[in-house]
Amino acid sequence: MTQDGLDQLCINTIRTLAMDAVQKANSGHPGMPMGAAPMAYVLWTRFLKHNPANPHWPDRDRFVLSAGHGSMLLYSLLHLTGYDLPLEELQNFRQWGSRTPGHPEHGLTPGVETTTGPLGQGFANGVGLAIAERFLAERFNRPGLAIVDHYTYAIVSDGDLMEGVASEAASLAGHLGLGKLIYLYDDNHISIEGSTDLAFTEDAEHRFEAYGWHVQRVEDGNDLAAIATAIEAAQAATEQPSLIMVRTHIAYGSPGKQDTAAAHGAPLGEEEVQRTKENLGWPTEPPFYIPNEALTHFRAAAERGRAWEAAWQARFEDYASEYPQLAAEWQTAMNGQLPTGWDADLPDFVPADGPLATRQVSGQVLNAIAPYLPTLLGGSADLAPSNNTLLKQYGDISGDDFGGRNLHFGVREHAMGSIANGMALHGGLVPYTGTFLVFSDYMRPPIRLAALMGLPVIFIFTHDSVWLGEDGPTHQPIEQLAALRAIPGLIVLRPADAAETVEAWRVALTHRDGPVALALTRQKLPVLDRTELADADGVARGAYVLADARDERPDIILIATGSEVHLALEAHGQLARQGVKARVVSMPSWELFDQQPQTYQDQVLPPTVTARLAIEAGVPQGWHRYVGPAGEVIGLDRFGASAPYKTLMERFGFTAESIVSRALALLGR
């Protein structure tokens, strides 16, 4: 068989697998894989450095299918090149228990680098992957011994380019000159509602050039030589990320559906599948037919992959013998572990140190751990001075210098979250982000995906309540804590003072299988006197008894979080003077508390004590779970207002006195 013939056979194998799987599932997106098959084929068989036998090989090229709806493209490539994804999985596309879900899910299917489907996310994840590669290369590579040296590729679609998050990410990628980031744009002029002429007529070429990208066009998406030449040119553009705009045709080869939106998100139909196969010169039976020549050609990836990884392994052994300490550091980082002694310099606090805003303490913690955690990397969306996210002993990361430790995300919260996810997906880094809590709304899609993927990203949110004061209701979070708590798998922590903040960070750093959101105050809070009160290590259990009614069953339990805890303590004192026995429970994290054994939960919130009052400066939604039917919530069911925070506290009823009167009323006194 000629090379041309073999190429076509392989490409049509991808196309027909996608058609057949979607047809069998009676749902899915056949058009995109059919149009993008040639570029994917060229990339995967001529360029992509990977080892199907070991999807975790650290120096593999990363491939992101940002247009996740085209998942059958990726599943076909994974199966054909020899990943542990048998043909039966493709035949079970989109079915319960299969490893071929509708959209690619990281952690479920070997070789899927990130979960995609929400358009734009994969695009921005790729930027995070490329930042991670460059940062780790700078930190670990030594002359002649590059242990981190790979590309990040993606296939992106019209939808990806339309989403705002891609613009944010592309702007930052261009700014940082991420030369090893190479995106192939499936420029097929079709999205769900029809032609892109309906809503997307911008000049993408000049748009990306304006971002600082190296942009090329391939006019014929079936021209393999042109695609290969463009990828080579993209690799040669070492100081710019690359966009290769490949003019493709959705559902290429389908006589009735090519170039139509009908092929985007529905099976072609039995008849059209037959006609398309005939048109492509393909046997109409059996479905899921994979010619031997095609499989053999794809499976050559196994040998190449083995050789690549072996060469890397040999290089790593040389590296380890020359730089044993760095090699050990690399291993620890790549294993997602913390170096021993990372917490040696964590600060301690006594009341005389206060009052302190928890955001200040968070900044101190970050700076105390940074020297021990060389791959702790993050920053803020242009709020570092407010979020206290700056690592003061270290420089900035810039296009010319990746030796710094401070990443300036710019005012790009959405991409910041998605990029941090990419950094976590790469491995080797402990990523963190920073912004105001109210803008967690701008980051919700990536936070949700971090939770879905179980990524250890630390999301720092300061200015965590209306008590930020004068900036007013646009900046004052009300429903954000509840909204974050609604995300399954996300740990939300709202520490009450300096000591709890240190403990919250300890939780955040040691929690390796999911994201953590820290809600921190702008305003100063007293440092609680731990000689009188319980130790702050109770934070790890989500809630703990901070102050109690001496040796007796409490009449009432006051449950508070963050900046409201010290008010509850004050109220506790006042109630005691009136003969009311109150217990104060500090509850920095619902999620951690819910994970505790029932016995512990009952110890903290004894079922027999039904008089309970929760105090939190946010919507009461959800608190009834903890206060029960007889309990009440002091919360905020309205937007805030612009005023000094002490005025707001009085106006909104967040004072010890108002807590006391609500408690007394609740007790019928």
Ligand X SMILES: Cc1ncc(C[n+]2csc(CCOP(=O)(O)OP(=O)(O)O)c2C)c(N)n1
- Which residue numbers are catalytic? 413
**What is the Cα–Cα distance from 14 to 34, expressed in whole angstroms?**
7
Min dist. Cβ of residue 442 to ligand X (A): 14
Among 52, 101, 111, 117, binds ligand X (CB under 6 A): 117
Q: Please identify, among the stretches 186-194, 453-461, 478-486, 520-528, the one whose residues bind ligand X according to the rule CB under 6 A.
A: 186-194
CA 397/CA 131 separation, integer angstroms: 10
d(CA 626, CA 635): 14
Query: Quick one: which segment of 26-34, 44-52, 452-460, 524-532 binds ligand X (CB under 6 A)?
Result: 26-34
Q: Which is nearer to ligand X, 190 or 567 (CB)?
A: 190
Instruction: Return d(Cα 182, Cα 190) in angstroms, integer.
Output: 22
* Assigned token pair, 15: 């196309």
φ/ψ (deg, to 5) at 509: -75, -30
Nearer of residues 191 and 240 to ligand X, judged by Cβ: 191
Query: Minimum CB separation from ligand X for residue 223, in Å?
Result: 19
Q: Give the one residue of 39, 119, 381, 508 binding ligand X; rule: CB under 6 A.
A: 119
Q: Break the chain down into helix, strand, coil percent, rounded to 5.
A: 45, 15, 40
Candidates 114-122, 282-290, 575-583, 653-661: pick the segment binding ligand X (CB under 6 A).
114-122
Q: CB-wise, 30 or 82, nearer to ligand X?
A: 30
Query: Least separation, in Å, of the C-beta of 159 and ligand X?
Result: 3
Q: Are strands 491-493 and 516-519 parallel, antiparallel or unpaired?
A: parallel
Give the bridge partners for 585, in sequence order. Answer: 545, 559
Which two three-digit tokens encode residue 593? 């508390």
Q: Which of residues 250-269 bind ligand X (CB under 6 A)?
A: 250, 264
Helix or strand holding residue 557 (H, E):
strand 556-560
| Residue 158 or 548 having the CB closest to ligand X | 158
Choose, by CB under 6 A, the member of 101, 104, 118, 469 that binds ligand X.
118
Q: 198-237 mask for ligand X (x: CB under 6 A)?
A: ----------------------------------------
> Binding ligand X by CB under 6 A: which of 7, 105, 133, 158?
158
Closest separation in Å from C-beta 625 to ligand X: 31
Rounded CA gap, 325 and 260, in Å? 57
Scanning 182-190, 221-229, 517-525, 587-595 for contacts with ligand X by CB under 6 A, the matching segment is 182-190
CA 201 to the chain's CA centroid? 30
- What's at 446, amino acid-wise? P
Distance CA 165, CA 212 (A): 17
Give min distance, CB of 255 to ligand X, in A: 19
- Give the Cα separation of 417 and 564 in Å (integer): 28
**Number of residues in the chain:** 669
The yes or no reply on residue 168 touching ligand X (CB under 6 A) is: no
190 belongs to the binding site for ligand X (CB under 6 A): yes
15 touching ligand X, by CB under 6 A: no
Q: Binding of ligand X at residue 67 (CB under 6 A)?
A: yes
Is 192 one of the binding residues for ligand X (CB under 6 A)? yes
CA distances from 581 to 538, 561, 573, 661 (A): 22, 20, 9, 14
In whole angstroms, the minimum distance from the beta carbon of 184 to ligand X comes to: 13
| Position 427, amino acid | G
Task: Decide: is 159 part of the binding site for ligand X (CB under 6 A).
Answer: yes
Which tokens go with 27? 């749902």
328-357 positions binding ligand X, by CB under 6 A: none
Mark the segment that binds ligand X (CB under 6 A) among 89-97, 151-159, 427-435, 506-514. 151-159
Q: What is the distance between the alpha carbons of residues 475 and 80, in angstroms, rounded to a whole number?
A: 51
Q: How far is the CB of 416 from ligand X (least distance, A)?
A: 17
Decide whether 183 or 654 has the Cβ nearer to ligand X: 183
**Residue 247 C-beta: closest distance to ligand X, Å:** 12
Nearest residue (CB) to ligand X, 32 versus 437? 32
Stretch that binds ligand X, among 157-165, 207-215, 345-353, 591-599 (CB under 6 A): 157-165
Q: What token pair was written down for 118?
A: 């929400």
Which one, 452 or 663, has the nearer CB to ligand X? 452
Per CB under 6 A, the segment of 185-193, 380-388, 494-502, 661-669 that binds ligand X is 185-193
Q: In three state form, how does the secondary structure of 349-391 look?
A: CCHHHCCEEHHHHHHHHHHHHCCCCCCEEEEECCCHHHHCCCC
Give the residue among 309, 267, 377, 277 at the shortest CA–CA distance from 25.
267
Residue whose structure tokens are 């949700």:
448
Among 188, 254, 521, 561, the residue binding ligand X under the rule CB under 6 A is: 188
Residue 345 Cα distances to 365, 367, 498, angstroms: 8, 9, 15
Cβ proximity to ligand X, 117 vs 588, nearer residue: 117
Distance CA 188, CA 255 (A): 16
Q: Is 153 helix (H, G, I), strand (E, B) or coil?
A: strand
Q: Which residue's C-beta sits nearest to ligand X?
A: 159
| Shortest distance (Å) from residue 104 CB to ligand X | 12
> Minimum CB separation from ligand X for residue 261, in Å?
7
End-to-end CA distance of the chain: 93
How far from 163 is each of 181, 185, 192, CA to CA, in Å? 19, 14, 14
In contact, 40 and 130? CB cutoff 8 Å: no
Classified as helix, coil or strand, 622 is coil
Of the candidates 299, 253, 310, 297, the residue with the CA atom closest to the CA atom of residue 276: 253
Give the count of residues interacting with ligand X (CB under 6 A).
Answer: 20
Measured from the CB atom, is 155 or 334 closer to ligand X?
A: 155
Q: Of the two residues 31 and 631, which places its CB atom closer to ligand X in the complex?
A: 31
Residues that bind ligand X (CB under 6 A): 29, 31-32, 67, 69-70, 117-119, 157-159, 163, 186, 188, 190-192, 250, 264
